[in-house]
Amino acid sequence: MFLHTFPSRKGCERINSFMSWIGGKKALRDEILLRFPIEFGRYIEVFGGGGWILFHKPVGNEFEVYNDFNPNLANLFRCVRDAPEDLKAALQYTLNSRLDFKHVRTLLKTQTELPDVKRAACFYQLIRQSYASNLDSFGGAPRSMWSKFPLIDACCGRLQKVVIENRDFEHLIKQYDRPDAFFYCDPPYFETEDYYEDVGFTQADHQRLADALMGIQGRFLLSYNDCPEIQSLYTKPGIFIESTTRLSNIAQRYEGGKQYAELIIGNYDTTEKVRQQVQLTLWDDPHEIYNILSERTVLFNG
């Protein structure tokens, strides 16, 4: 067992995630943070994925929860938080080969019983070496595991006071809902449910998620692909729906500047934080915020 001195949370603000993930919000993280409520006492990331929003979110005094229904993902985050030196040791001499990739893939596919750190290392190897982090096909590109070790250390420090859960979203929302709770949700997008392994999210779950969020005491912010089915689910009193776009990282290889239409949905006025910052002139260039407000495409104002 390696001894590890955990980095302080101080200075851990706005770091990158140690991993890429399908549907990760790296490209939209600034847009999303601008739409956070001004105040909340607990922050719950319901579909945590790569944690790009959590790691970009400034450290505060609020209670924080990271959740993902994928057990391998939740286990990886726990090992980054609690056993980073053991995890790095397990990754240190990982082979970047198609044969080893297939072997590790089989270990996880057949649910072979493995110690937590070994399972986390295998899963992280698949993330790093697969094409577009799809966990399935070997990418064939040179990848240095060591290059991500500083980020593993930084994310370890950031996660020290974060509760890591592996629960169904409906049960999680019920458990942590309070008047001061703020839920950020980035579920599998409509008609992309099959892209994610071990999550069990179906098309019927889009309705189940909407029902769970509509009855909460706290606030929620939701990111989705822009489609009529999702707009219809959330066009209700008290709901704000905005349209925005993000770059498609994968499509950049074939179509430069390719954009995907996205929805940002909340049960509160999602401009409140930006308006307060304008009033307090906290930004170096207030005109930038006015531009953000004027460029917002509000599809529904509940």
The type of residue at 18 is: F
pTM of the model: 0.86
CA distances from 34 to 28, 225, 272, 288, 294 (A): 10, 19, 9, 12, 14
Mean pLDDT, rounded, for 176-193: 91
Take residue 212 and report the two structure tokens written for it: 């769970």
- For residue 8, name the pLDDT band (cuts at 50, 70, 90): very low
In the chain the domains, ranked by start, together with CATH numbers, are 29-301 (3.40.50.150)
Crossing angle of helices 149-158/84-91, nearest 10°? 160
The type of residue at 231 is: Q
CA distances from 74 to 80, 117, 183, 231 (A): 10, 12, 18, 30
**Residue located via tokens 């290392």:** 121
* Residues 37-64: tens digit of each pLDDT: 999 999 999 999 999 999 999 999 999 9
Phi, psi of 263 (to 5 degrees): -110, 140
